Structure 1
Amino acid sequence: MIPDNLVDSIHSLKPDSIANYLRSSGWTESSLDENISLWHRPEEEFESFELLQPLTKKFRDYSQRVFELVESLTNFEKRAFEEVLDELSNFHADVVKIRVSHDDVESGSIPLDDGVRLFEKTRELFVSIAKSTFSKKKYFGGGKLSEEIANYLDTIRLGQTERGSYIVNLIAPIELIPQDQNDFDKVSVTRSVTKTLARSLTAIDSSINDFKSTNSLTAFDSAVEKGVSANLCDAILGLSGDQRSRNINISISLSQTEELSEEIKLTHRFEVDALPYLEKASEYYKDNYVIPNKTISGLVIKLTHEPNEDSGTVVIDAMVNDRQKNVTVELPIDEYWQSHRAHKRQQPVEVTGDLHVTPKTAKLLDGRNFKAFGDNDLFPDQE
């Protein structure tokens, strides 16, 4: 008898999904008639293994026969029944499992607000990756989704949640692409997005390690071409909960419907201690970050000083992370007048501080080690 909790799942299995799974797993088919197929193993040591598959749901005992087939397949593969059933059900789909772990979700439940947030951030994760599949950017603003991305998102289904901390299943069906002899390299949109997801998660993890070694925000630059964006970082941060207290595991299961032309990492883990680095990456991609102890140099292009004030503000045209920025810095009055003279003479100045960059401004805080260059030492090395 089929357990009550499996009746719907068993009955929903399609004959072609079962057949494709068996064929891809090395089983050989011998058709008995148009309604039944007999499958067996080609290996001599397994010649006694046989599976009887009904090819139409018109049989009154279709569900029972499929249940028995899955049981036999489970025994042969030595795997859990539910695991085999999931793969049969999702044979034509890439599946992404997002697992969050912490003491407060070990029972398989999650606080309501965090549960809502988890599903919202899961959608944001897929939106960001879909966008990055078609266009690589540090940050995607709002606006209407393209028709191609909207159509892809419409195909994604939420699978049943699982115990084991708290697990969300995302099922992305692979659309079948007709191929002729001159067109073997087409890749479905689903598989393209799945590959971007895998590449981007690998890239941001690698960039975090590079940042730890160099303490330079430019360590995050190379990840953008792999599909990483501020939106992706924010989505992962959101998956960890409002308090950012949960570890995150993202695992990918690829459909065998479509061949994979390259190796990609399918399991990814972000511990809680990696989350501050994701936040740094996100702010950097949004052009909102701080570079401590940064030395800038360049020509003074603007000066401001109020009467009777013992300081003044100068704006320096400087290079910051390979981009030209107008950097504002407040200087003591003596250094301000040195800047004034340098400005008149079109000679560069140099100053060190904590550089705060936003999309529209750049400001050097706690300016120190000021130097105005004379005629004999023009154009110092830029950092």
Structure 2
Amino acid sequence: MSNVTLQQVRGYLTTQQWSLVSTPDAFIEVWRCQGEKGGELLLPTEQAIDKDFLLNESLRKLASIKDSVVSEIIREVRELTENLVSIRVAHRDVNDGSIPLEDGIALNANAKELISAAANAALERRPLYQGRPPALVSALLQSARLGQTTHGSYVIHVFCKDPPQNDQPMDFARVTTRVLGSALTGLKSALEKYEESGNTILFEEALTRGASANLCDAIAKFSGKDRARTVEISLSADAVDQLAPSPRTIIEFPPSHQPHLRVAAEYFRQTYTLLNETIIGVVERLDRRAEQDAGVVRVATTLSNGVQRSVSVQLGINEYPGAIHAHENKQLVRVSGNVIVTPRTASMVEPTGFRIYGNFELFE
């Protein structure tokens, strides 16, 4: 069996500059390509009783015309008519085309997580996806197919297509593939910039392009238990009904990105550190022991990444009285330092430059 349909073969021929020139009867089609020597091909129609046998014969003829083999033609047909995601891991321990069993299992399992993260992002951008996925995402995962592995270090292929009964107005598989490309490109750019600056705020741009903690986790686990392998993800949206095939997108994550992927995942899980952060806000709570002159204040503010939090700040004996005055008079305060954020808390480490703003001073 060819594992491709007549519709897919027709779509493939169209992208390769073949054209349908005649239909002698209800059971056969004649296709021709001026650019190929002997470029005439007979295709069965859906009405042909032995269409599967005839389709295989057509593929053999096409392989002969293109000086190729049937398996390669089928691979090309699927690449151009389905949404293909290929995941390649490279390291000397997989150069022979094999991979440790445990890592191979993880590679296949996290391929599903990668597609799931992109499909969720196609519906709604979020830093973390939890719980039961939407019905459209579940249907896409159920219809996705794992292709045969190929040589080249170690490579697996995932073919994404919409389920047969899909009634959505959009080609969700194609949209998911393109969102995945956007998310991977945005994440790689953010990782490279973070490597230079150490500023986690850079991951916000990747979030808007579809990156998430789920995506980061999947890529990290592709690299193996020791996180030593280079991960290369290539993808292409199907080319059917397009004027030209979509260019293949290739994104590579070297082992040096592994520590930064963990930081990005923690950031998306709302566990991160904002370096050299300056906050401005209202003192909403004071907390100190009776026998102490210093204490902790909580400042309601909006962080530089747009998140609204109440930040705990430890003030010394010289600053705390000013915080009391600001609290009683509802004045704004300003303080700088590194802010550690978790899902439940936000606190500033080694605060400096605490000051109180007057009624109009902030706008000067």
Q: Give the TM-score of the pair, scaled to structure 1.
A: 0.79
Query: What SS class does the counterpart of residue 333 from structure 1 fall into?
Result: coil
1:334 matched residue in structure 2: 318
Q: Please report how far the alpha carbon of residue 129 of structure 1 lies from its aligned counterpart in structure 2 after TM superposition.
A: 1.0
CA deviation string 1:325-346 (max 9, x = no partner):
2111223333333433443344
1:27 matched residue in structure 2: 18
The answer to whether the 8 A contact 1:342-1:372 is kept is no
Q: Please report how far the alpha carbon of residue 132 of structure 1 lies from its aligned counterpart in structure 2 after TM superposition.
A: 1.0
2:272 matched residue in structure 1: 289
The answer to whether the 8 A contact 1:13-1:89 is kept is yes
From the superposition, tell whether residues 361 and 265 of structure 1 become closer, same or farther in structure 2 (CA, over 3 Å): farther
Residue from 113, 120, 126 that aligns with 2:115:
126
Does structure 1 residue 242 correspond to structure 2 residue 250? Answer: no
What is the CA–CA distance in structure 2 between the aligned matches of 1:60 and 1:362, rounded to whole Å? 63
2:138 matched residue in structure 1: 150
From the superposition, tell whether residues 135 and 260 of structure 1 become closer, same or farther in structure 2 (CA, over 3 Å): farther
Q: Please report how far the alpha carbon of residue 268 of structure 1 lies from its aligned counterpart in structure 2 after TM superposition.
A: 1.6
1:104 matched residue in structure 2: 93
2:170 matched residue in structure 1: 187
What is the CA–CA distance in structure 1 between the aligned matches of 2:52 and 2:313, rounded to whole Å? 81
What is the CA–CA distance in structure 2 between the aligned matches of 1:171 and 1:160, rounded to whole Å? 10
2:50 matched residue in structure 1: 58
The answer to whether the 8 A contact 1:233-1:282 is kept is yes
From the superposition, tell whether residues 130 and 59 of structure 1 become closer, same or farther in structure 2 (CA, over 3 Å): closer
From the superposition, tell whether residues 333 and 140 of structure 1 become closer, same or farther in structure 2 (CA, over 3 Å): same
Q: Please report how far the alpha carbon of residue 131 of structure 1 lies from its aligned counterpart in structure 2 after TM superposition.
A: 1.0
The answer to whether the 8 A contact 1:93-1:174 is kept is no
What is the CA–CA distance in structure 1 between the aligned matches of 2:91 and 2:182, rounded to whole Å? 26
Amino acid corresponding to residue 250 of structure 1 in structure 2: I
Alignment of 1:146-225 (within 5 A): 146-173=134-161, 187-212=170-195, 215-225=198-208
CA deviation string 1:197-223 (max 9, x = no partner):
122222222333444565433322233
The answer to whether the 8 A contact 1:132-1:196 is kept is yes
Does structure 1 residue 319 correspond to structure 2 residue 302? Answer: yes
Residue from 141, 158, 165 that aligns with 2:130:
141
From the superposition, tell whether residues 117 and 309 of structure 1 become closer, same or farther in structure 2 (CA, over 3 Å): farther
Q: Please report how far the alpha carbon of residue 169 of structure 1 lies from its aligned counterpart in structure 2 after TM superposition.
A: 0.8
Q: Please report how far the alpha carbon of residue 286 of structure 1 lies from its aligned counterpart in structure 2 after TM superposition.
A: 2.0
Q: Please report how far the alpha carbon of residue 91 of structure 1 lies from its aligned counterpart in structure 2 after TM superposition.
A: 5.4
Aligned residues between the structures: 360
Q: Please report how far the alpha carbon of residue 157 of structure 1 lies from its aligned counterpart in structure 2 after TM superposition.
A: 0.7
Amino acid corresponding to residue 302 of structure 1 in structure 2: R
Q: Please report how far the alpha carbon of residue 167 of structure 1 lies from its aligned counterpart in structure 2 after TM superposition.
A: 1.0
What is the CA–CA distance in structure 2 between the aligned matches of 1:84 and 1:62, rounded to whole Å? 16
Residue from 300, 303, 319 that aligns with 2:283:
300
Amino acid corresponding to residue 317 of structure 1 in structure 2: A
From the superposition, tell whether residues 42 and 359 of structure 1 become closer, same or farther in structure 2 (CA, over 3 Å): same
The answer to whether the 8 A contact 1:36-1:52 is kept is yes
From the superposition, tell whether residues 81 and 377 of structure 1 become closer, same or farther in structure 2 (CA, over 3 Å): same
Query: What SS class does the counterpart of residue 117 from structure 1 fall into?
Result: helix
The answer to whether the 8 A contact 1:298-1:379 is kept is no
2:346 matched residue in structure 1: 362
CA deviation string 1:290-339 (max 9, x = no partner):
12333334332222222445742222223312333211122333333343
Amino acid corresponding to residue 95 of structure 2 in structure 1: E
Q: Please report how far the alpha carbon of residue 111 of structure 1 lies from its aligned counterpart in structure 2 after TM superposition.
A: 1.7
What is the CA–CA distance in structure 2 between the aligned matches of 1:198 and 1:308, rounded to whole Å? 58
Query: What SS class does the counterpart of residue 99 from structure 1 fall into?
Result: strand
CA deviation string 1:240-291 (max 9, x = no partner):
2232222111111332324279977622212222233333322222221112
The answer to whether the 8 A contact 1:174-1:257 is kept is no
What is the CA–CA distance in structure 1 between the aligned matches of 2:180 and 2:297, rounded to whole Å? 45
The answer to whether the 8 A contact 1:353-1:365 is kept is yes
Amino acid corresponding to residue 269 of structure 1 in structure 2: E
Which segment drifts farther, 190-199 or 326-335? Answer: 326-335
What is the CA–CA distance in structure 1 between the aligned matches of 2:209 and 2:69, rounded to whole Å? 35
1:69 matched residue in structure 2: 61
Does structure 1 residue 351 correspond to structure 2 residue 335? Answer: yes
What is the CA–CA distance in structure 2 between the aligned matches of 1:263 and 1:93, rounded to whole Å? 11
CA deviation string 1:3-47 (max 9, x = no partner):
xxxxx5x4x45445434423432224455666665544225xx55
The root-mean-square deviation of aligned C-alpha atoms, in Å, is 3.6
The percent of aligned pairs where both chains have the same amino acid is 28
1:42 matched residue in structure 2: 34
